[in-house]
Structure 1
Amino acid sequence: MHPHRVEVSRVVPVPANVAFAWVADPRTHPRFIPLTHLSPEPTAPLGPGDTFTMVSGPGIRRGLPGFPDRMTITAEQRPSTRAGTIGRSAVRKEGPYLRGVAGFDVVPVDLDRTRIVWWEEAYLAGPWPRRANEVLVGLILRGMMHASLYRLSRLLQRRR
């Protein structure tokens, strides 16, 4: 059985190396992913093999509890506009609620524009049928991913 993949993309008005720096570093994610907080926030950049936890929920920024999403970075390959190579940052989701894999592909369009492709193959941990819950999780993820990439694009436009 193939995993259910959800994928959303957006062209952002920055070079590929800048886009990659934003999506590959979990410390920047709370700035563009709604209702999300990195806990605890690491002081140094993370790389392959490092584990981190994102906590999501409507009151997370006011100190209310949320849903933890533990992840381990499994891949980090920088893009190159000159060489025409795609960058990739990937994680393995380790629960306790979500399991699977996710990541960002960073595709250079030209010197000043980049397509960010956010993909997830995630499902709820637990006893329920995986295929059915992958589709439900995918619907929720797709909306959140669209909103997040929109916010990231606006943030990057203001930084130019």
Structure 2
Amino acid sequence: MSAEEPASTKIGLPFENRDAMRLSKTHTLDALSVGPLDHAGGDKIVRFPGHVLVVKATGRGSYARTTPDRYGFPRLLRPRGKQHFGYSTGDLVRAVMPSGKWAGTWTGRISVRARGQHSLTAPMGRLNVSHRNLTLLQRSDGYGYSVRPEASPSSLGKTVDWRQNGS
């Protein structure tokens, strides 16, 4: 932005852009609609995301070495290490289950246990997996990652103009 250009103080510009392009209200499409667009001149958004990366803060665990009771007194001792059999909670792993009810290949986030039977959270639910059947894909960085589909622009309808509702 140069010194000659005046700063825009217009409120509702993303709404007007979404309304002119007949887009629904999603955070992704709202971010694409920010800024001045000349609809009469032919400005339009030509590419829309099919899927959106969703990042969730999951943390890196607790430093506490005891579990307090309801009065705050220490009752249980927690293990000293956060890693068991080379894995830590939050690692992204691929599990190859050779046989049984859950036979197949599963990918997801694990919660480690000291005995080596870790808990894998996959899209279909939770299952227990031995550390021998795991392959590390990514070390835990304190975030959980997932992908969700974004609404397609062709299936989106006209948005309601909030300025015509008596305000």
Q: For this structure pair, what is the TM-score category when the shorter chain's length is used for normalisation?
A: under 0.3
How high is the TM-score relative to the length of structure 1?
0.19
Structure ID, larger Rg: 2
Q: Which has the higher helix share?
A: 1
Q: Which has the higher strand share?
A: 1
Higher relative contact order (CA 8 A, sep 6+): 1
